[in-house]
Amino acid sequence: MKIFLDSADINEIKTHQSSGFVDGVTTNPSLIAKSGRNIIETIAEICTLIDGPVSAEVTATDFETMLTEGKKLAAIAPNVAVKVPLTEVGLQTCRALADTGTKVNVTLCFTAGQALLAAKAGASFISPFVGRLDDIGKNGMGLIENICAIYANFDFDTKVLVASVRSTQHVIDAALLGADVVTLPPKILSSLYKHPLTDSGLEAFIADWKQTGQTIL
């Protein structure tokens, strides 16, 4: 399973990119606004840091403007994946961009039916929001399970990109269900390293080693 970093913060991306675990980046208008930077400049800089897909989202809601924005974003770098909302217009834009070879990430997916339409529209990625479903008492991971099964039934090329991740358990569950990608806030990626037994075990090893008086170097 690939790991994308969900961030538009250049410093955060640089910090985690050096780990070797970051296979791509996802951004959205909220993350761009939080960064306080120009979207075109930000996406261009991220694309110089990351070899994998970098999702850049359109902000228009009508087809013509959405398509124009998508083309402009796609022209920034070869690894840009244009992000469009899962609306009728968004899927029309997805099809138009996909037909020209542009990678498209269809976002704000909340049902398996929506995911089916996105795959038929030529999406490179579908982004189901598991955390937001959990927030309203629905089964976010159940949606991932259903989408993975549908895509396997028909051998769709669309990759399942698990979004709105709120915990490390979401990451584990996504991997168990066979999702292709999970996009993580930096704090969740950092949390994957950690467990209290790892820390206490390391402390014990170090204490025992000091008692030997030895050195490896």
CA 127 to chain CA centroid, Å, is: 8
Average confidence (pLDDT) over 19-41:
95
72 is catalytic: no
Domain covering 2-212 in this structure, CATH number: 3.20.20.70
User: Quick check: 148 and 173 in contact, CB under 8 A?
Assistant: no
Note the residue count of the chain: 217
pLDDT in tens, 107-129: 999 999 999 999 999 999 999 99
| Paired sense of beta strands 159-162 and 181-184, if any | parallel
User: Quick check: 97 and 126 in contact, CB under 8 A?
Assistant: no
User: pTM for this structure?
Assistant: 0.95
Structure tokens, 19: 């780990």
Domain ranges of the chain: 2-212
pLDDT in tens, 148-175: 999 999 999 999 999 999 999 999 999 9
pLDDT at 69: 98
Using pLDDT thresholds of 50, 70 and 90, give the confidence band for residue 209: very high
Q: Which of 83, 103, 187, 194 is catalytic?
A: 83
User: Quick check: 125 and 144 in contact, CB under 8 A?
Assistant: no
